[in-house]
Structure 1
Amino acid sequence: MNLKTIHNVYFIGIGGIGMSAIARYFSVNGKVVAGYDKTPTPITKSLEEIGIEVSFEDAVKNIPISFLHKEKTLVVYTPAVPKNHVQLNYFKNNGYAVLKRAEVLGEITKNTFCLAVAGTHGKTTTSSILGHIMQPEKATSFLGGIAENYNSNLILGEDKVSVVEADEFDRSFLKLSPNIACVTSMDADHLDIYGENEFLQQSFRDFASKVSDTLIVAKGLPLKGLTYAVNEEADYKAYNVRIEEGKYVFDVKTPTSEIKNIAFHLPGNHNMMNALAALAIADVYGVPLEKVKRQLGSFKGVQRRFSYKIKTEDVVLIDDYAHHPTEIKAVAQSVREMYPKEKVLAVFQPHLFSRTRDFADDFAGALSLFNEVLLLDIYPARELPIKGVTSSWLLEKITINTKKLVSKEKLSDEIIKSESKIVAMLGAGDIGLLVDEVKNKLEEKHKK
């Protein structure tokens, strides 16, 4: 596939966070870009604002006429698209070049010096931190979240160096050619794809074997490479950690040197680990540590990753993508660290029937760390219902007393009734679309 000869790029699932980053990349590099998605979202709106045509009806008639010239058209699709998708089958049956998102990302980055971030948790934040660190180095970064510093999931630079989020879903990261990479975590997940945890573990080993120069791993993971840890001996060690004026300040020992008083604004031990992983990759690449320190201090975070939507004396509203028990525990730990004396309400929308089934007890344990829980129905994404796997079933397993199943329509009203000062809205489905409504209602309540 020679991307230089391609004139048109059509995306099926263009509103996906990873898909839209590549769509933006092609658009700013002079390609004609269009695509389909199921529903309008802030992401599809932002694509339309830069001149990308997006349709929301799965019909061949919605494909722009210029894209019917198959020799000059590349079709990119996400594995989440159903097999009976009309447009996708039209392209496949008529001899178009049709590639998965991961294959296209592999093609874009294979001739760059590729810095890749893998892991079942932390990869979006870590790759966003790394992209920010590498921005003065003119790297182009493809992110799985909207970096607050750039209000984008694409940090555009030059073609010499790329930063990519290496996604284990559907074994996508095996399409990459990483030069330096890190693995943040290897917890069981995506068992609807892998079947068993051992196959997921094997995919990480396969990814590690593709790294040409240096692999960096969180200490304790069963992979060989440079290690990083907080307050433990490792090749990259963060220590002397303290909280000053609402931010972390810490020192780091590297294999060859030391740097003091790094300031970092994101709460939670897991985010300090993310910052340390990004520092390690940048250090191995050769970015001076003083420059790394400066960029860490100015990093503002990633949307839907412990994002403060309201932060006042009366009420705090946090929006987070957490959709795995480990991630929910990390949010709980961060909230307790920042607000040790306050009551906390968690609003959770489970994502996938299979994930809810596979980790039900772990979800219940993580959600029981909060004072109150409101549970939305399971967001199905790409799945059909599984008998007996419901939010009511999960609710029964949660051990705290103050818990309730709630509809999207009544969610804001239920939150308003709560006496908790801290509200954390969690999940990877469409719960993020409800946050603004909740924000407006809470601000109204506390004006009175």
Structure 2
Amino acid sequence: MSPTVPPTLDRPHFIGIGGAGMSGIAKILAQRGAAVAGSDARESETAAALRALGATVHIGHAAGNLAPDATAVVVSSAIRAENPELAAARERGLPVVHRSDALAALMAGTRPVAVAGTHGKTTTTSMLAVALGTLGLAPSYAIGGDLDAPGSNAHHGAGDLFVAEADESDRSFHAYDPEVAVVLNVELDHHANYASMEEIYDSFVTFVGKIRPGGTLVVSADQAGAVELTRRVAGAEGLHVLTVGEAPTAGLRVTSVTPRGLTSEVTAVLADGRELAFTVSVPGRHYALNAAAALAAGIALGVPAEELAPALASYTGVKRRLQLKGEAAGVQVIDSYAHHPTEMTADLEAIRAAADGGRVLVVFQPHLFSRTRELGKEMGGALALADASVVLEIYPAREDPIPGVTSAIIVEAARAAGADVTPEPDREAVAELVAGMAKPGDLVLTMGAGDVTDLGPRILARLGS
């Protein structure tokens, strides 16, 4: 067994190994020498990438998938108690390890950076990881999306830095003890786990309290929830706070963001008055602010700002974060993971700025019944920023249906806001519908956290036929 693998995770079995968070941990363990196995509901490129690393990946869930010599079963909060592999593990008395605890174990002996917030975690984590890698610092990282190829969401690096996305949705980010914690924003979301904004604040205060003595909190100086969090943790012993944003009081202040097509030129002023200019290779003010947060985190680690800033240009995007899927018949198709109204608004504003006079057409798939119930009207309002939208049925993910909660909530709100919106319950009809709407120069945005991403290639194929 490799000395960098915790004994319990020497021969782990992952239930749902193809998921973004689970596959990253499985990949790092495989790279460290563990005998990794697991199962997932369906075949995927991620499963194939894990097999290429030597992992055993079963398709479908069955008690027989659990190897006789498994040392632990790793689960996420999405795994239900009746899963046959989880039931078999409990019958055998095997340790059941939550994904966050497995990731925390992998961080042991490193200098961790944990990136949290309701939006922007994946992008900011990726920006910092790529920039540190470009500088030869060989970080380990675990993020919630693929950088450039299936399975590129995680890596075991030879350096002592570990950059990880920290998920607040189920409070699992309380498992980490980072040297640097980044909080991009604090908003009410994940309604199945948080009943109020006060609970959200309490959870983030707990997360900040896990920062190692002498460590740093990098936090937005612009977003109201983050500002309130800063107020609540002010004066904590041994905690350094570095604020980031466009506010005049920010310790790292962004003074300009200039769009350049699908990129941006950013200027920032550091706490010591030095001015830095750097390129962000994705469009939009919110991505520029993500890059500034990544820059601040690197500075907190001791990386020279004048080296890190230009290295941020090495980041060229994460799959599903305004990812250009292709162009056909003069129409560009771009994929967006946005599923919360704030994210939807930010991505639509960014695409509008990059559209160069063309129309913005959106194919939106709501994610989760609980989120639609609480935020459906705001989602509809966000769609008013598009020239026209197609709205699909709700992607349920881990949830059971809620009576009375359908995508009609979003459609009605969008129409009330003056939006041109078409409900389309049949996913198979979307490519034909959008191809009939689109004209040369238009941008088509497939948007949502579910399987709406699969429609991009279909739309391109129909446009090119």
Q: If the TM-score is normalised by the length of the shorter chain, which range does it land in?
A: over 0.9
Question: 1:30 aligned to 28, 33, 46, which one?
Answer: 33
Aligned to 1:114: 112
Counterparts of 1:30-49 in structure 2, within 5 Å, are 30-49=33-52
Matched residue SS, 1:129? helix
Counterpart of 2:234 in structure 1 is none
* Equivalence map 1:179-190=2 (5 Å): 179-190=179-190
Q: 2:259 aligns with which of 233, 238, 243?
A: 243
- Which residue pairs with 1:139 in the alignment? 139
1:91 aligns with 2:97: no
Quick one: distance in 2 between partners of 1:260 and 1:111? 33
Question: Following TM superposition, by how much is the alpha carbon of 1:22 offset from its aligned partner in structure 2, in angstroms?
Answer: 0.6
Supply the distance in 2 between the matched residues of 1:251 and 1:441 (Cα, whole angstroms): 41
CA distance in 1: counterparts of 2:445 and 2:359, whole angstroms? 11
Aligned residue for 2:370, secondary structure, equals helix
Cα deviation, 1:230-279, whole Å, max 9, x if unaligned, reads: 36441001224323465322222111252433122110110001000000
- In structure 1, what residue type is equivalent to 2:267? D
User: How far, CA to CA, are the matches of 1:231 and 1:133 in structure 2?
Assistant: 25
Aligned twin of 1:360: 376
Contact 1:149 1:301 in 2 (8 A): no
Cα distance in structure 2, aligned partners of 1:19 and 1:123: 16
Matching residue of 1:191: 191
User: Is the Cα–Cα contact under 8 Å of residues 310 and 439 in structure 1 kept in the other structure?
Assistant: yes
Preserved CA contact (<8 Å) 1:231 1:239: no
Whether the 8 Å CA contact 1:118–1:167 is kept in 2: the answer is: yes
Is the contact made by 2:358 and 2:443 (CA closer than 8 Å) also made in structure 1? yes
Partner of 1:320: 336
> Structure 1's 231 and 380: CA in aligned 2 closer, same or farther, altered over 3 A?
same
1:395–1:405: 8 Å Cα contact kept in structure 2?
Answer: no
C-alpha separation in 2, matches of 1:244 and 1:35: 44
* Distance in 2 (alpha carbons) for counterparts of 1:233 and 1:309: 39
Which residue does the alignment assign to 1:438?
Answer: 459
Bigger drift between 179-188 and 427-436 goes to 427-436
Aligned to 2:148: 148
In the TM superposition, 1:353-432 aligns within 5 A as 353-399=369-415, 400-420=419-439, 421-432=442-453
- Letter matched to residue 140 of structure 2: T
Summarize deviations over 1:114-170 as a string: whole Å, max 9, x none: 111100000100000011122121210111111138971013312622101011011
In structure 2, C-alpha distance between the alignment counterparts of 1:141 and 1:10, rounded to whole Å: 21
Write the mapping of 1:160-239 to structure 2, written as runs, cut at 5 A: 160-212=160-212, 213-220=215-222, 221=226, 222-224=228-230, 225-230=241-246, 232-239=248-255
Task: Indicate which of 365, 368, 377 corresponds to 1:349.
Answer: 365
What is aligned with 1:129? 127
SS at match of 2:363: strand
Corresponding residue number in structure 2 for 1:8: 11
Question: Shift of the alpha carbon at 1:344?
Answer: 1.2
Instruction: Check the 8 A contact 1:149/1:300 in 2, yes or no.
Output: no
Bigger mean CA deviation after superposition, 51-60 or 197-206? 51-60
Would the aligned equivalents of 1:182 and 1:281 in 2 still touch at CA under 8 Å? yes
1:9 partner amino acid: P
Shift in alpha-carbon separation, 1:232–1:311, aligned structure 2, 3 A: farther
TM-score, normalising length from structure 2?
0.90
RMSD of aligned residue pairs (Cα, Å): 2.0
Q: CA 1:285 to 1:312, structure 2 compared with 1: closer, same or farther past 3 Å?
A: farther
Of stretches 323-332 and 253-262 in structure 1, the one that deviates more from structure 2 is 253-262
Q: Distance in 2 between matches of 1:363 and 1:292?
A: 36
Residues 163-210 of structure 1 show CA distances to partners (whole Å, capped at 9, x for unaligned) of 010110110100001111110011110011112222122101111111
Are the counterparts in 1 of residues 263 and 283 from structure 2 also a CA contact under 8 Å? yes
> Structure 2: any 5+ residue segments left out of the alignment?
231-240
| C-alpha separation in 2, matches of 1:39 and 1:49 | 17
> How many angstroms apart in 2 are the aligned matches of 1:312 and 1:257?
47
Deviations 1:45-74 (A, max 9, x none): 2222333221122211223xxx3125xx12
Find the residue that maps to 1:267 and give its secondary structure. Answer: coil
Provide closer, same or farther for how the CA distance between residues 8 and 282 of structure 1 changes in structure 2, counting only shifts above 3 A. Answer: same
Q: 1:84-119 CA distances to partner (integer Å, 9 max, x unpaired)? A: 101111102211111010011111113211111100
Structure 1 runs of 4+ off > 4 angstroms?
none
Q: Which letter does structure 1 place at the counterpart of 2:286? A: H
Please tell me the residue identity of whatever aligns with 2:336. Answer: D
| Cα distance in 2 for residues equivalent to 1:419 and 1:244 | 24
Task: State the alpha-carbon separation in 2 of the partners of residues 292 and 143 from structure 1.
Answer: 20
Question: Residues 46 and 151 of structure 2 are in contact (CA less than 8 Å); yes or no, is this contact kept in structure 1?
Answer: no
**Kept in 1: contact 2:361–2:444 (CA 8 A):** yes
User: 2:301 aligns to what?
Assistant: 285
CA contact (8 A) 1:251 1:258 kept: no
In the alignment, the residues of structure 2 paired with residue 246 and residue 31 of structure 1 have an alpha-carbon distance, to the nearest angstrom, of: 41
Q: Equivalents in 1 of 2:196, 2:376: separation in Å?
A: 16
Q: Which residue in the other structure is 1:61 paired with?
A: 64
Deviates more, 1:340-349 or 1:362-371: 340-349
Deviations 1:306-335 (A, max 9, x none): 001125781111101111111110111001
**What is the identity percentage for the equivalent residue pairs of Structure 1 and Structure 2?**
34
Partner SS, residue 306 of structure 1? strand
Residues 283, 150 of structure 1: alpha-carbon distance in 2 compared, 3 angstrom cutoff: farther
Query: Which blocks of at least 5 consecutive residues in structure 1 are unaligned?
Result: none
Larger CA deviation: 182-191 vs 219-228: 219-228
**2:246, 2:460 → 1: CA distance?**
34
CA contact (8 A) 1:113 1:161 kept: yes
- SS for the counterpart of 1:24 is helix
3-state SS of 1:127 partner = helix
Give the superposition deviation at 1:414.
Answer: 0.8
> Secondary structure in 2 aligned to 1:319?
strand
